Amino acid sequence: MASRVVLHVGLMKSGTSYVQQRLEANRDLLLERGVLLPGERWRDQVLAVSDVLGRRQLAGKSAGRWARLVADVEAHDGAVVVSMEFLGPARPELIARVVGSFGAVPVEVVVTLRDLGRTVPAMWQESLQNGGTRLWIDYVRLLDGRRRPAQAFWRQQGMGRIVDNWVAAVGPANVALVTVPPPGADPGSLWERFCDAAGLDALDAATVAPANTSLDAASAMVLRELNLLLEQDGIASGDYHRLVKFELGKRALAGCVGESIGFDPPRWLRERASAIRERLEASGARVVGDLGDLTPLATPGTDPDAVPATDLAAAAVAALSAVVRERAGQPSRPPQPPQPTTTSETP
């Protein structure tokens, strides 16, 4: 039987992809040191968590996967790490089901948290990568409300509520809060904090490239325009997921390095972040990093809604080029800023 289970429960856009890819890249090293990543690959954890949470999207593929993961835990003599951000906002009764699955095995929880100043643009991009069409200005304005997109955003980013739910399930001594380091920090510092929180001897683990790269402002707007067209065409969700979300949104468009999305957090968001920090402090959970890292700061960049048409065209051509190169099996070019199209005057 396992000595302990570490559940890394997100939150979304808090460096989870980076942590998961680094865990996966060092699967053998971790096992040599007594730490099991259940399943043959990380995708198996996605299916297992989808199963226990009853997520309909993967129901046909996930049935029985959680029981299989629990069996792996029972057969392992050492620590086990499960990393899946779907777990973070789970309802209390589902959290109780997850924790109860492991019987007498102690459960520890790691929650990675990122400041709202960087999270809001990241979540808008994520909405576009899932078919969204809302303008940036409307997305930000509507977050201070009770309907869409506020419901979806705060379900995933309600840090105080999420942490309180997990503390109630396993106790404050078994919850660690990892703050994402501020802009400009070495990506490896997040891994160091995660290892501290999870109790892993893996600071020497092989590094990986930054994961789930953000879209620049022009690329984000190209994706929005595409979504408007596809919405009219009624493309099947499976085709969208494969062709648009991943092939374009997560790879081709994310490879551009034009101007980033600028965001000056409004007063109401700063006030909410302050209230969240007070709630986290009161939770009793251990903090790895500094809760000051969660202060939303203004980020330089451009307003996506004001991107010139020439920049949109250049970003679209760059994405098409990336798709063609990938399908032709050619090596991808290093990311380049999109070059606006120019016209020459005829004499």
pLDDT in tens, 201-240: 999 999 998 766 788 999 999 999 999 999 888 888 888 9
Query: Any idea which of 77-81, 127-131, 239-243 has the lowest mean pLDDT?
Result: 239-243
Query: Any idea which of 7-16, 233-242, 286-295 has the lowest mean pLDDT?
Result: 233-242
Write the DSSP string, 82-137.
EE-GGGTT--HHHHHHHHHTTTTS-EEEEEEE--HHHHHHHHHHHHHTTT----HH
Cross-strand bridge partners of residue 107: 5
| Residue-level pLDDT at 344 | 36
pTM: 0.90
Query: Any idea which of 46-55, 126-135, 317-326 has the lowest mean pLDDT?
Result: 317-326
Query: Any idea which of 45-49, 227-231, 281-285, 287-291 has the lowest mean pLDDT?
Result: 227-231
Helices (H), the chain: 16-25, 27-32, 42-53, 59-62, 65-75, 92-100, 116-128, 136-142, 150-157, 159-170, 188-198, 217-233, 237-239, 267-283, 309-327
Tens digit of each residue's pLDDT (9 = 90 or more) over 80-124: 999 999 999 999 999 999 999 999 999 999 999 999 999 999 999
**pLDDT confidence tier of residue 255, bands split at 50, 70 and 90:** low
* Distance in angstroms (rounded) separating the CA atoms of residues 137 and 342: 29
| Residue-level pLDDT at 329 | 80
Specify the CATH superfamily of domain 4-115+157-211+265-294. Answer: P-loop containing nucleotide triphosphate hydrolases (3.40.50.300)
The whole-number average pLDDT for the span 264-274 is 97
| Residue-level pLDDT at 158 | 97
pLDDT exceeds 90 at position 326? no
74: nearest Cα among 39, 32, 40, 103: 103
130: nearest Cα among 58, 46, 224: 224
Tens digit of each residue's pLDDT (9 = 90 or more) over 57-82: 776 788 999 999 999 999 999 999 99
pLDDT exceeds 70 at position 51? yes
DSSP state of 302: B
Please, what is the average pLDDT of the chain? 91
| Residue-level pLDDT at 333 | 58
- In percent, the amount of the chain with pLDDT more than 70 equals 93
| Residue-level pLDDT at 334 | 52
The residue with greater pLDDT, 299 or 254, is 299
pLDDT exceeds 60 at position 133? yes
- Domain extent listing, the chain: 4-115+157-211+265-294, 217-259+308-327
| Residue-level pLDDT at 110 | 98
The whole-number average pLDDT for the span 264-293 is 97
pLDDT exceeds 90 at position 346? no
Contact 81, 4 (CB under 8 A): no
